Structure 1
Amino acid sequence: MKKQLSLWDGIMIVMGSMIGSGIFIVSSDMMRQLGSGYWVIAVWLITTFATIAAAICYGEMSSLFPKAGGQYTYLTETFGKMTGFLYGWSLFAVIQTGTIAAVAVAFGKFTGYIFPELNDAAPLYQNGNFMITWMQILAIAVILLLTFINTKGIQSGKIVQLFFTSSKIIALILLVIGGIYLIKSNLFSENIAFGWDAFQNLKGEGWTGISGTALLGAIAAAMVGSIFSSVAWENVTFVAGEMKDPKRNVVRSMVIGTTLVMLLYLLINYVYLSALSRDEIAFAANDRVAVAAAEKLLGNTGTIAMAILVMISTFGCVNGIVLSGARVFQTMAKDGLFLKQAIANNKYDVPERSLWLQGIWASLLCLSGQYGNLLDMVSFVIVIFYMITVFGVIYLRWKKPELERSYKTFLYPVTPLIYLLIGTVFCVLLILFKPNYTWPGFILILIGIPIYYLGKRKESKDNHIS
């Protein structure tokens, strides 16, 4: 593949893929779970440390395997084809495509905020609980449009990514700066006055103090939101084959991009906690806490501006995920672990068939109406594979110390151990207290095992016949 992506492009992919709809929504549920601004900030800080630590560790993997496929390649090279396939299978089944579907539908929902006709329109088709709405059609149109743009070459996708990512970063910075200056009655002190005391109010029936195991479960549930808002930074590793000087620029993109996004997230949450009361954050309409904050600061004009910002954000996020994910499926196909039709590049030197396979499946998830249920366990599945990859850094240092490492993990082994500790605590808490977030993820991964062996059996038969 041609080396067409610079360090700046890499940073834009990282930031554009991370900033989707989550930061505008998840703080509502986090407040319902924990009831204290202190705890909300604490969860975001834990997520910040974990995200940056993981990105630093991935840097060493990217220096060892600076080629297309990214995390899939790291897992395959370190632990074998089955581990790589199970990651790629999970990526195609829900992690990548389900995220594309969810963020595209979020685009549709915020479009409906500006054009209420979309909200009020009767379903195009309905049979029982299953329905096809105009918002779903709009989401599919966004997915197919961005898939088409990305089939016209990496430059086309790069231009879209640069424009929309730059726009939303500038808008978010203005939101932070404007928010700080426009707040008439700062409620930050009031929201953190509860300190480490935690409360829960999941149904709007009043706040109840929680501690012990209930608090641990609430922290885990709150982290689902913060982690989901902070993933997808690894997408830049998928396009390493098209990065200039990938051994240096991939790790720089990840560390710089994740650090800037997490700093921005912390500042945005400061604005939420300063502009809104605890109840206003917890029970913002449809969890649109960013819209509630904008309305408090600027009235109706603020809500329209925020809705437009989220549309820009989600559009750019979908583009970043569409652009990068298809490279993984192409690499899997080359390894005999995905449909062989996904191997070929088109005349613009991009994996067109892989892009369309990804886009069509993401569109079907939009129609299914089940993308939301699937995404409940995305954070859990992603963290499992993050942990396996981070552990790979330690494993390769022990197993293959002779490998050339142009970049070594900063503060090794402290950095990978920090991530493994946070990730393990998060996963164990979810397994113990929120199993509905975990067992679907385990089932999804396990389904990949027979699919892997069926594929190997077919490959063996084909080789025998040839």
Structure 2
Amino acid sequence: VAYLWVLPADQLMLTETPAADVSKVLFGARGGQFVSIGILISVFGGLNGYVFTAARSTFTLAQSDRIPFSNVLKKVNKNGVPSNATWFVFIVSSLYCLTGKYDLLTDLSTFMVWNFYILTFFGVIKLRKSHPDAERPYKVPFYPVIPIIAIAGGAAVVISTIITQFTYALAGIGIMLLGLPVYAYYEKKEKKEKLNS
């Protein structure tokens, strides 16, 4: 809405850098450069967080022997950092980037992140019911209102994406579902090993 107050929709749809263009109108050329630098810092910060979060998730799955190459991915270096898992995430991310379809990648990742956010908020509600006496260093304020609002907002984003970008949504769901048979295989393998021992 703020962008539309500054630039009309027909101009905004033609630009790949709406924030910088709006800033140029409001604050001049220097303002546009300043906002572009801020966006780059934000992007690199977000990327840094995603790489380390994904590496930790990969490392945790590897520790439970739930993914291929677990014996390699669960190793840590002398500082206790899961460097193999970090390199793995870096390589897979780089391969995705080689497609050159950055809009596709951001659309897919945003769609999938919102799916997991919804599951997380359902998890908060489920844990409150199944383990009411568990120690909680942090409690969600105004529970259950906040998780319900978050689930509704996330569902709106997910449903909107399915309606407006069905192919991307389907591809994202497909990629996510590819993990289920892999996880099921390793789960079954672990149960067999427990029975044999």
Aligned counterparts of 1:403 and 1:341: Cα–Cα separation in 2 = 34
Aligned to 2:156: 425
Change (3 A) 1:426 1:308: closer
What whole-Å deviation, never above 9, does each CA across 1:190-222 have from its counterpart, x for those lacking one? xxxxxxxxxxxxxxxxxxxxxxxxxxxxxxxxx
Unaligned segments of structure 1, at least 5 residues: 1-36, 38-269
Aligned counterparts of 2:164 and 2:50: Cα–Cα separation in 1 = 31
For the 8 Å contact 2:122–2:151, the answer to whether it is kept is: yes
**Aligned: 1:402 with 2:150:** no
Aligned to 1:293: 22
| TM-aligned CA deviation for residue 275 of structure 1 | 3.7
Aligned counterparts of 1:447 and 1:304: Cα–Cα separation in 2 = 42
Aligned to 2:145: 414
| TM-aligned CA deviation for residue 415 of structure 1 | 1.3
Residue aligned with 1:403, SS: coil
TM norm structure 2? 0.80
What whole-Å deviation, never above 9, does each CA across 1:352-379 have from its counterpart, x for those lacking one? 1111111111111122334542432322
Change (3 A) 1:371 1:294: closer
What whole-Å deviation, never above 9, does each CA across 1:220-245 have from its counterpart, x for those lacking one? xxxxxxxxxxxxxxxxxxxxxxxxxx
Aligned counterparts of 2:195 and 2:100: Cα–Cα separation in 1 = 42
After superposition, where does 1:188-227 map in structure 2 within 5 Å? Answer: none
Aligned to 1:353: 84
For the 8 Å contact 2:112–2:172, the answer to whether it is kept is: yes
User: Residue type of the partner of 2:41?
Assistant: I
Of residues 298, 316, 333, the one that matches 2:62 is 333
For the 8 Å contact 2:96–2:105, the answer to whether it is kept is: no
| TM-aligned CA deviation for residue 458 of structure 1 | 4.8
After superposition, where does 1:64-75 map in structure 2 within 5 Å? Answer: none
- Sequence identity percentage: 34
For the 8 Å contact 2:6–2:22, the answer to whether it is kept is: yes
What whole-Å deviation, never above 9, does each CA across 1:72-109 have from its counterpart, x for those lacking one? xxxxxxxxxxxxxxxxxxxxxxxxxxxxxxxxxxxxxx
What whole-Å deviation, never above 9, does each CA across 1:1-36 have from its counterpart, x for those lacking one? xxxxxxxxxxxxxxxxxxxxxxxxxxxxxxxxxxxx
For the 8 Å contact 2:55–2:82, the answer to whether it is kept is: yes
| TM-aligned CA deviation for residue 313 of structure 1 | 3.0
Q: RCO (CA 8 Å, sep 6+): is it higher in 1 or 2?
A: 1
User: Residue type of the partner of 2:48?
Assistant: N
Aligned counterparts of 2:137 and 2:35: Cα–Cα separation in 1 = 43
Aligned counterparts of 2:150 and 2:82: Cα–Cα separation in 1 = 33
| TM-aligned CA deviation for residue 435 of structure 1 | 1.8
User: Residue type of the partner of 2:106?
Assistant: L
TM norm structure 1? 0.37
Aligned counterparts of 2:5 and 2:187: Cα–Cα separation in 1 = 56
User: Residue type of the partner of 1:428?
Assistant: I
| TM-aligned CA deviation for residue 302 of structure 1 | 4.1
Aligned counterparts of 2:13 and 2:102: Cα–Cα separation in 1 = 24
**Aligned: 1:392 with 2:123:** yes
Change (3 A) 1:277 1:319: same
Aligned to 1:444: 175
| TM-aligned CA deviation for residue 445 of structure 1 | 2.0
After superposition, where does 1:61-460 map in structure 2 within 5 Å? Answer: 270=2, 272-283=3-14, 285-286=15-16, 288-338=17-67, 339-459=70-190
Residue aligned with 1:377, SS: helix
Aligned counterparts of 1:321 and 1:433: Cα–Cα separation in 2 = 26
| TM-aligned CA deviation for residue 327 of structure 1 | 1.6
| TM-aligned CA deviation for residue 273 of structure 1 | 4.3
Residue aligned with 1:376, SS: helix
Q: Tell me the C-alpha RMSD between the 2 structures.
A: 2.8
